[in-house]
Amino acid sequence: MAGTRNGWLRLVRPDLVIGAVADLTAADLGRLVPDVSALCFDIDGTVTDYHAPTVPDAATAHLRGLRDAGYRTFVVSNCYGSRARAVHDLFEPHVTAVFTPEDCVDPTDPKPDPRRHGKPAPDMVLAAARAAQVEPGAVLMVGDQVFKDVLSARRAGARALLVPRLGPSDHAGVRYLQRPVERLLRPLLGLPGGRSAWPVGLTPVP
């Protein structure tokens, strides 16, 4: 039983934590995860507030800076319909590519369902690895949710970096069902407690 529990916890334990995506630097990445060459970014709660209609200039400049430093950079976001189109428009000028669940649908599937490809499924992370022409182990998934971002990375065989949620908004199901469980798991996962406990710089999870 203990082995099963520990195995499950490994699926939702990130490799690294940082207090904000804005603090992520190419220098720290090169020092702590030198074999990573591709970065996948969740959007809502990670780079912007939930369903923000615009992206701060500082955030897009940061993404471009990481791309210019030599990283293949990707947006991987669970969004659909008009929101998926908006995310493509907002981020495509600033990253290598954008993937939503709709981008992972097999055109030959007689019953396509984009939601099957959303996180925590590994499909978007694997699509990014293929686009970057690297193995999944060279990909770092950056996000604010252990049950979506971290788990999708683990299922893909990629690395995971967890950040605290950015902004006051959140999906209702995440806020009331997922976040309370995450808070209970933090001590077991070796994660920071309150917001003030998150490190300013990139930090390995013990």
Question: For 8-22, 72-86, 130-144, 163-177, which range has the lowest pLDDT when averaged over its residues?
Answer: 163-177
Flag whether pLDDT at 60 surpasses 70: yes
Greatest extent of the chain over all pairs of C-alpha atoms, in Å: 49
Query: Going from the N-terminus, what domains does the chain have, and what CATH number goes with each?
Result: 16-197 (3.40.50.1000)
Which tens digit of pLDDT belongs to each residue from 63-103? 999 999 999 999 999 999 999 999 999 999 999 999 999 99
Over residues 134-159, the pLDDT tens digits come to: 999 999 999 999 999 999 999 999 99
pLDDT at 173: 64
For residue 200 the two structure tokens come to 């300013």
- At 50 the pLDDT is 85
| Statement: residue 3 has pLDDT above 60 | no
Please give the pLDDT value at position 107.
86
Q: Is beta strand 159-162 parallel, antiparallel or unpaired with respect to 139-143?
A: parallel
Q: What is the model's pLDDT at position 1?
A: 43
More confident position, 2 or 59: 59
Looking at the chain, the whole-number percentage of residues with pLDDT higher than 70 is 92
Q: Is residue 9 within a helix (H) or strand (E), and if so which, with residue range?
A: helix 2-12
Side-chain-facing half-sphere of 178: CA atoms under 13 Å: 15
Tens digit of each residue's pLDDT (9 = 90 or more) over 101-140: 999 999 888 888 999 999 999 999 999 999 999 999 999 9
pLDDT at position 181 over 80: no
User: 139 with 128: CB under 8 angstroms?
Assistant: yes
pLDDT category at 168 given cuts 50, 70, 90 is low
Q: What is the pLDDT of residue 100?
A: 98
Per-residue model confidence (pLDDT) at position 68: 98
Percent over 90 (pLDDT), the chain: 74
Q: Which residues contact 59 (CB under 8 A, 6 or more apart)?
A: 21, 22, 47, 48
Q: Between 112 and 12, whose confidence is greater? A: 12
**Non-local CB neighbours of 14 within 8 Å, separated by 6+ positions:** 146, 150, 153, 160, 161, 162, 189, 191, 205
Alpha helices in 33-178 (DSSP H): 57-68, 81-91, 123-132, 151-156, 172-173
